[in-house]
Amino acid sequence: SSEILTLASSQRGMRVFDCRPESKQVTEQVVEATGKKLEGFLQDVSKAFSISGKETFVLTTTDRRVIDDNVFDELEDGITLQLLRSADQELPAATQEHIKYVPHYYTLVQSGMYEYYASEGQKSLPYAFAELVDNSLSATASKEGLRTIEIRLLFDESQGKHAAVVLDNGCGMTSKQLNNWAVYRLSKFNRDNSTIHSDHSGYVRPAPVPRSLNSDISFFGVGGKQAVFYIGQSARIITKPAASPDVHEFVMSKEDFERKEKNKEDIYCGVIRNRKPGDCAHIVVEEELFLQALIAEEEDKESFTAVVITGIQSEHITYLKQHFDLWTRELAHIYHYYVHGIHGNDMRQSAKNVQKESNVDIQISLVEKSGKQSRRVNLRNVDNDMQTLYINSTSASFEFRAQAHGEATVEGLIRYHPFLYDRETYPQDPYASPGPADEEDDECEVFNPVGRGKRPIFECFWNGRLIPYTTVAEFEWCACPKKAGSVPAECYNRISGVLFTNDCFPVSTNKLTFMDLELQLRDRETIFTRVINGQDQRVKIQREFTTWMKECHEQYDKQIKFMGFQGVTTRSDI
Amino acid sequence: SSEILTLASSQRGMRVFDCRPESKQVTEQVVEATGKKLEGFLQDVSKAFSISGKETFVLTTTDRRVIDDNVFDELEDGITLQLLRSADQELPAATQEHIKYVPHYYTLVQSGMYEYYASEGQKSLPYAFAELVDNSLSATASKEGLRTIEIRLLFDESQGKHAAVVLDNGCGMTSKQLNNWAVYRLSKFNRDNSTIHSDHSGYVRPAPVPRSLNSDISFFGVGGKQAVFYIGQSARIITKPAASPDVHEFVMSKEDFERKEKNKEDIYCGVIRNRKPGDCAHIVVEEELFLQALIAEEEDKESFTAVVITGIQSEHITYLKQHFDLWTRELAHIYHYYVHGIHGNDMRQSAKNVQKESNVDIQISLVEKSGKQSRRVNLRNVDNDMQTLYINSTSASFEFRAQAHGEATVEGLIRYHPFLYDRETYPQDPYASPGPADEEDDECEVFNPVGRGKRPIFECFWNGRLIPYTTVAEFEWCACPKKAGSVPAECYNRISGVLFTNDCFPVSTNKLTFMDLELQLRDRETIFTRVINGQDQRVKIQREFTTWMKECHEQYDKQIKFMGFQGVTTRSDI
Ligand SMILES: Nc1ncnc2c1ncn2[C@@H]1O[C@H](COP(=O)(O)OP(=O)(O)OP(=O)(O)O)[C@@H](O)[C@H]1O
Ligand SMILES: Nc1ncnc2c1ncn2[C@@H]1O[C@H](COP(=O)(O)OP(=O)(O)OP(=O)(O)O)[C@@H](O)[C@H]1O
Ligand SMILES: [Mg+2]
Ligand SMILES: [Mg+2]
């Protein structure tokens, strides 16, 4: 089947099938058409199939278009033609037509477009950046010192076109790995990492760690590509692996694809530039001035990867500037436990000493035109993401573990946010717009749940990273019982929760939703166990939970209750 | 860049770059390695770059692996090598490495896997079949007579392996179009339909029709591929276009891809079989017996397309058998207006005469092992899909139009389901499981909304076909006002609605969600207009709507109301 490929582009060979009714069997021959007119080509066909001068025949394409002078000139190399007695005769036997069906380049260019929208529209941009941060977390996973990940928005026009750079001090990529970066759907599960075949290294799942913070967040072989083409129209990857003295650089852009399509070149051929660190001889146009500064930084680095996105949609630029706090906070939410460590961002004095610092450092900066102050935030300093709010308004927590099939485990945590004097302490999302559901509740104001209300209890983290659109409402054992029990119903509105799953629970390719987490956890086979100080408790979880709730209520809720009603006294003295 | 391709697979040419520090500039030469040992190859390299016998040098790959005998034997054709003074010397100037990055075949094979799950898990299978029905609707769009679309589940083991066939009497495909079918992300917007370049036919959007029932439901160039590989592991497309005497047949399978990868063949090369109708000479194995019957049917047909899926996942087979009523009803819901015409399935006597029959006929059959009765349903006869239930419990409807930017229009309809004597007539989903939100309402039972409750008002159709996961809660003008008005609040729970959009409102590639419908409609620029008998009413829609609601309430609600309370009488006689 590689036959078609071996004909150079200037050559034209046609695969001609003899389909005349009297032919004993359908034979196939490649007839050369290079430099010929139809006349000459037909003579060659006659010769090839020993057709006598008296015999009439027609040549057609496989959609039965008769080959005349005009059609002939446009036929492409390798095309299949049928030699027939008449244009509408039936085929005595089947012909075999070789085709190619390489995916269209929209596979890459449009991949993110519809992935990140996913019906919620507005907040999608931070999730695209998250794919690049995911890759940087994976790449820095085995780093000993500080793992630095930077998102730099270079919106200063004096430095060239607008660019978004995601930069890390991770392991970098060899040129082979950089080549693999570009292959859509090639993932750690189905790739061969080496230039040399014999050292094919299969993927090994990392050992279990608390809360599955294993940095192993690369999965489908699509994230980086979807993200860059959702954000912009061109991606330049610049990378250096630790062992090598060379930097590797590769550009993939929509414009490039369009050019190759127009020129009928192979769409998925490209060039990696191998060069020494700091060498920016290839950066010549003013538009790319900002790259020189970036490349100059290379010389001090052992290894790194930079993803440089240009051609950024103007709506995105507006959004990134105007909602800087909002989207950086969303990233702080997604990576909360990577940035703050397994116990999260507990800012209360009591926690300050026990906390083990995380070595993940995620910085975001936005540089606008000179004169305007640039903005900079370290995700560690974000103090109003939802997890931070939950953690700092908790008075007690209840840990558990869920064991589904095989190695599929979930660590869970429920936090109690008490009622203090005159108000619920269950945190409210400072940026949330009141949903339609809340408004409709107006009619029965008195019964309106406070605290969490009807929102789901659990936010869900997959290999330590938030999957933002999936929440789990509750489990049977932690739901408010139908019949009034020893714990007042409103206490059940005072809990929030987190689930930490490993990657045995599949997520969608855009990492916005779990595929069936709730379904799997509701399965009767799934076993829930309370955990205290890391030890599984062999007791009924529902009873444990109810007891815990009762204690929380009694110990932490400071509710003013009017008791012992003795009648109405009219104060005529006021 | 097609240079790499032109070397036949038995040849080995290496692109060698002279990177020695003293070389004035980095020169590149292709050095032949075919049939050589390293020794000989190195001599040729010396010659090519005029290296004297005394000079020492090393050859490395671009990841700086030194070429020794073992490495040399494994080097692939076209690889880039660096000629260096020493293995760790820096590069005096950049080298250019040609790479290929054709998408991995998982692009096709895994495409549906995560697309159709989309967090809701269970019901995804009908949506995969819907992609194939979409294609059949598009293909039969300009058919004069009956447009027949059949889903046949052939689960009779005596006829070979399990198969699902989607069959239509549409326009069919030429072999070129069949080739295009296989190209991922090639859609009507970016393809060239002809074998011949000069008659490149651009896509023309169909003229507006009522409720956008234009059958133009092909959009992204992914649906068919995602669907077949979500359902099974192999797809055989058999098709005949009207003008041609030939049937074209193409098989794409996971097994095939795996084989080609193993053999290092081009992944996206395949063969189309062109043959006469009814010719099943190529069906020889017992496993494929059922294909003979299918092929035998071809002879009576002017044009058709059959998509035959095998390798169906066993969970899918179980689901398709056990929940036959459920998933066929879901399809009836999706295609409600295609199957029943623009007014939908109004079964009441009054409607019987005015109704114009639709010519879309969608049949589903399930054949199990001989002896067991096969099942068959025509979607036209499904009478319990939600739209049928809504339509048949309506006493009045309110039509409107929404005009967003440009050509983006929405036709809308609100239906009133009155209270009759002792109950709400707002229809309940017969298959719905009570959600957690409903249960939690227990506390304030008295105020519990009946009828629609807090569910969204609108189901949404895109080019006439349901987009199942997107609903629109309400618009300002049809929401229950905060302050009690002339219409009792509970009446607002008695309305259901439908939105019919054209394709100016983008949907996700799996056609499960709109990307930003609600956002666009909530835009201040969007203008809502009431429509009566097809005429736009130039009046404030909110006032119109409130008046209509009031009329509905007064005319259709038959509520027993206890009025004129006169005191309590104790019936001591009981
Ligand atoms: N910052 C980086 N440093 C080192 N290697 C990287 C980096 N980013 C990407 N890569 C490599 O490129 C590959 C492709 O990345 P991409 O995000 O497209 O897919 P993925 O991470 O494998 O899977 P997913 O679809 O889950 O993101 C990665 O698997 C990784 O090997
Ligand atoms: N039943 C059919 N009859 C005729 N042509 C068909 C049929 N099914 C598919 N095709 C052709 O194959 C193409 C590819 O189909 P596919 O469903 O994969 O993508 P699409 O319909 O173009 O876009 P979408 O992703 O929206 O489904 C269609 O555009 C159409 O030209
Ligand atoms: Mg990734
Ligand atoms: Mg389609």
CB < 8 Å & 24+ apart, contacts of B547-554 = B548/B396, B548/B398, B549/B416, B549/B487, B549/B491, B549/B492, B549/B495, B550/B486, B550/B487, B551/B396, B552/B395, B552/B396, B552/B416, B552/B418, B552/B491, B552/B494, B553/B418, B553/B487, B553/B488, B553/B491
Rounded to 10 deg, the angle between the B324-334 and B124-139 helix axes is 50
The CB-side HSE value for A60 (13 A sphere, CA atoms) comes to 23
- For ligand 2, what atom is nearest to the CA of residue B307? 1
**Residue B147, domain CATH:** 3.30.565.10
Instruction: Give B436's contacts in chain A (Cβ within 8 Å).
Output: 473-474, 479
**Is the domain of B538 the same as that of B402?**
yes
In a domain, A430, yes or no: yes
In a domain, A99, yes or no: no
CB B297 within 8 A of CB B265: no
Residue nearest (by alpha carbon) to ligand 1 atom 12: A181
In a domain, A446, yes or no: yes
Determine contact: B442 vs chain A, CB below 8 A.
yes
Choose among A74, A93, A246: nearest Cβ to B64: A246
Answer whether B97 sits within 8 Å of A513, measured CB to CB.
no
Answer whether B61 sits within 8 Å of A195, measured CB to CB.
yes
Mean pLDDT over the full length of chain A: 89
**Is the domain of B332 the same as that of B465?**
no
Determine contact: A550 vs chain B, CB below 8 A.
no
End-to-end distance of chain A based on CA atoms, in angstroms? 101
Instruction: Give A88's contacts in chain B (Cβ within 8 Å).
Output: 245
Round to whole Å and give the CA distance between A178 and A199: 18
The CB-side HSE value for B140 (13 A sphere, CA atoms) comes to 28
Specify the number of domains making up chain A: 3
**Is the domain of A78 the same as that of A110?**
no
**Residue B410, domain CATH:** 3.30.230
In a domain, A313, yes or no: yes
pLDDT for B448 beyond 60: no
**Is the domain of A437 the same as that of A541?**
yes
Choose among B1, B94, B106: nearest Cβ to A275: B94
Of A497-506, A560-569, B422-431, the least confident? A560-569
**Is the domain of A189 the same as that of A120?**
yes
**Residue A132, domain CATH:** 3.30.565
Final residue of a domain: which of A255, A285, A318? Answer: A318
Per-residue pLDDT tens over the stretch B323-375: 999 999 999 999 999 999 999 999 987 766 666 679 999 999 999 987 788 99
**Residue A54, domain CATH:** 3.10.20.90
Looking at residue A109, what is its pLDDT?
Answer: 93
**Is the domain of A425 the same as that of A542?**
yes
Interface of A with B in 300-319 (CB under 8 A): none
Determine contact: B102 vs chain A, CB below 8 A.
yes
Stated as kind and residue range, the H or E segment containing A455 is none
In a domain, A335, yes or no: no
**Is the domain of B158 the same as that of B300?**
yes
Per-residue pLDDT tens over the stretch B378-427: 999 999 999 999 999 999 999 999 998 888 999 999 999 999 978 899 99
Mutation test residue for ligand 1: of A127, A218, A247, the one with most atoms within 8 Å of CB: A218
Looking at residue A523, what is its pLDDT?
Answer: 87
Final residue of a domain: which of A318, A333, A359? Answer: A318
In a domain, B91, yes or no: no
- For ligand 1, what atom is nearest to the CA of residue A307? 1
Per-residue pLDDT tens over the stretch A6-59: 444 468 899 999 999 987 777 899 999 988 899 999 999 999 999 988 899 999
In a domain, B386, yes or no: no
CB B46 within 8 A of CB B58: no
Please work out whether the CB of residue A168 comes within 6 Å of at least one atom of ligand 1. yes
Q: Which among A19, A107, A189, A283 is the top mutation candidate for probing chain B, defined by the most B β-carbons within 10 Å of its own β-carbon?
A: A107
**Is the domain of B66 the same as that of B113?**
no
CB B418 within 8 A of CB B395: yes
- How far apart are the CA of B414 and the nearest CA of chain A, in angstroms? 19
**Is the domain of B427 the same as that of B345?**
no
CB B337 within 8 A of CB B137: no
- Which residue on chain A is closest to B121 by alpha carbon? A516
Looking at residue A3, what is its pLDDT?
Answer: 40
- How far apart are the CA of B493 and the nearest CA of chain A, in angstroms? 11
**Percentage of chain A modeled with pLDDT above 90:** 69
Per-residue pLDDT tens over the stretch B453-508: 888 999 999 999 999 989 999 999 999 998 888 899 999 999 999 999 999 999 98
Give Rg (Cα) of chain A: 32
- For ligand 1, what atom is nearest to the CA of residue A219? 26
pLDDT for A217 beyond 50: yes
Per-residue pLDDT tens over the stretch A293-347: 999 999 999 999 999 999 999 989 999 999 999 999 999 999 999 999 999 999 9
Looking at residue B437, what is its pLDDT?
Answer: 44
Q: What is the mean pLDDT of residues A526-547?
A: 94
Round to whole Å and give the CA distance between A517 and A526: 11
The band of A446, judged by pLDDT with boundaries at 50, 70 and 90, is: very low
* Token pair 């139009």: residue: B401
Q: What's the A108 CA to ligand 3 centre distance in angstroms?
A: 14
**Is the domain of A398 the same as that of A464?**
yes
pLDDT for B8 beyond 60: no
Please work out whether the CB of residue B229 comes within 6 Å of at least one atom of ligand 2. no
Please work out whether the CB of residue A173 comes within 6 Å of at least one atom of ligand 1. yes
**Is the domain of B414 the same as that of B547?**
yes
Ligand nearest to the CA of B463: 2
**Is the domain of B324 the same as that of B399?**
no
Q: What is the mean pLDDT of residues B254-274?
A: 96
Answer whether A275 sits within 8 Å of B108, measured CB to CB.
no
**Percentage of chain B modeled with pLDDT above 90:** 69
pLDDT for B282 beyond 60: yes
Round to whole Å and give the CA distance between B93 and B508: 46
pLDDT for A136 beyond 90: yes
Per-residue pLDDT tens over the stretch B301-322: 999 999 999 999 998 999 999 9
- How far apart are the CA of B544 and the nearest CA of chain A, in angstroms? 22
- How far apart are the CA of A272 and the nearest CA of chain B, in angstroms? 5
Please work out whether the CB of residue B219 comes within 6 Å of at least one atom of ligand 2. yes
Answer whether B269 sits within 8 Å of A1, measured CB to CB.
yes
**Percentage of chain A modeled with pLDDT above 70:** 90
Choose among A183, A266, A279: nearest Cβ to B103: A183
Stated as kind and residue range, the H or E segment containing A390 is helix A386-392
Rounded to 10 deg, the angle between the A124-139 and A314-322 helix axes is 80
Determine contact: B183 vs chain A, CB below 8 A.
yes
Residue nearest (by alpha carbon) to ligand 1 atom 1: A136
* H helix intervals, B110-265: 111-115, 124-139, 175-181, 223-231, 254-262
Round to whole Å and give the CA distance between A369 and A156: 4
Choose among B107, B241, B270: nearest Cβ to A184: B107
In a domain, B546, yes or no: yes
Per-residue pLDDT tens over the stretch A417-444: 999 978 899 998 877 755 444 444 443 3
Instruction: Give B276's contacts in chain A (Cβ within 8 Å).
Output: 90-92
Q: What is the mean pLDDT of residues A221-225?
A: 95
Mean pLDDT over the full length of chain B: 88
Residue nearest (by alpha carbon) to ligand 1 atom 7: A135
Looking at residue A361, what is its pLDDT?
Answer: 97
DSSP summary character for residue A373: P
Per-residue pLDDT tens over the stretch A255-265: 999 999 999 99
As given in the structure block, the two tokens for residue A32 are 């050369």
Beta strands in B337-404 (DSSP E): 360-367, 375-378, 396-403
Looking at residue B421, what is its pLDDT?
Answer: 78
Please work out whether the CB of residue A237 comes within 6 Å of at least one atom of ligand 1. no
Determine contact: A25 vs chain B, CB below 8 A.
no
Domain around A302: 106-196+205-318
* H helix intervals, A61-220: 69-74, 106-109, 111-115, 124-139, 175-181
